[in-house]
Amino acid sequence: MVERTPFLNFFTHLILFVGFVLCIAPFVVVAVAASHNLRDVNDVPMSLLPGNDFWTNIKTAWTTADLGPKLLNSFIMAAGVAAGKVIISALTAFSIVYFRYPGRTFIFWLIFVTLMLPLEVRIVPTYAVVANVLSPYQTILDLTGLSWLIGKVSGVEVSLSLGLLNSYTGLILPLIATATGTFLYRQFFLTVPDELTEAARMDGAGALRFFIDILLPLSRNNMAALGTIMFLWAWNQYLWPLLITTDQSHATAVTELKQLIPNVGGIPEWNIAMAGTLIVMLPPLIVVVLMQRWFVRGLIATEK
């Protein structure tokens, strides 16, 4: 820095070091607890030297909570949400920025409002919609009298029904239906120089060609940032997967953690529980470490 401040430097190091320890300690404790046997983990105080049962505990946790398929489910959900967000937000932002049509501002605000009301708050009715994803359309047909008309004319009774509970589609789609990515792309598209568009049009490129060959390659950085942040966000979802996967086949790793602890009051086998926790917290941690640059960028860009 600009001047010599040995006293302050000492305190800076001290406080940062304490912060570092507090930040890292839970990871260490989880890893160490996962390596003890049941007796050692309940020792007071627990020894911070690793025990010998690490792999046994990992195996037990893996089979008890059936983590193999669950991790796969988590991965499919997180990758699906990330990919869906990256694609659909790009399409919408392109439409809003590069076209002039009536109602454009209205569409912009329709999408903007979705930022105000997160899934957790409208959880119960969203669940009902996913139980039969066509119910909104059925209701509209009923209310407008269209289903009566169709019934009269063709003799077919209209009853639309498509349940998405316990399916990947049901896990993924509602998580994509927000505006976060759209605004990231919009901000970026607005900085793309007009000359580029002019040149492309002069060379005979239509909207689609311009979008695919010029705009998308330019937004690679944004896609990486958005993809990383959405992957993490989706991986860490808890309430939504907990609700819609009534069947074990589609449960995610994060929701399965609960299998490792008894209900409130009982004392869990902490070594097994911590081994499971370690497995579940590792994939997002690896993503953060490897993709740190994109993670930070994505977070700062999507939220601002």
CA end-to-end span of the chain: 30
Of 58 and 287, CB closest to other proteins: 287
Contacts of 293 (CB under 8 A, 6+ apart): none
d(CA 230, CA 80): 10
CB-side neighbour CA atoms (13 Å) of 103: 3
Contacts of 261 (CB under 8 A, 6+ apart): 268, 273
Alpha carbon 178 to chain centroid distance?
Answer: 12
Q: Is the peptide bond before 217 cis (omega within 30 degrees of 0)?
A: no
Smallest separation, CB 149 to other proteins (Å): 22
Smallest separation, CB 210 to other proteins (Å): 8
Of 30 and 150, CB closest to other proteins: 30
Of 155 and 204, CB closest to other proteins: 204
Residue 89 contacts residue 223 (beta carbons within 8 Å) = no
Q: Which of 113, 123, 82, 133 is nearest to 235 (CA)?
A: 82
Q: Which of 282, 221, 213, 228 is nearest to 254 (CA)?
A: 282
| Token duo for residue 163 | 């349940």
Of 1 and 153, CB closest to other proteins: 1
Smallest separation, CB 255 to other proteins (Å): 8
d(CA 253, CA 20): 28
Smallest separation, CB 156 to other proteins (Å): 23
Of 44 and 153, CB closest to other proteins: 44
Smallest separation, CB 237 to other proteins (Å): 8
Of 224 and 296, CB closest to other proteins: 296
Smallest separation, CB 286 to other proteins (Å): 9
| Token duo for residue 255 | 């929701």
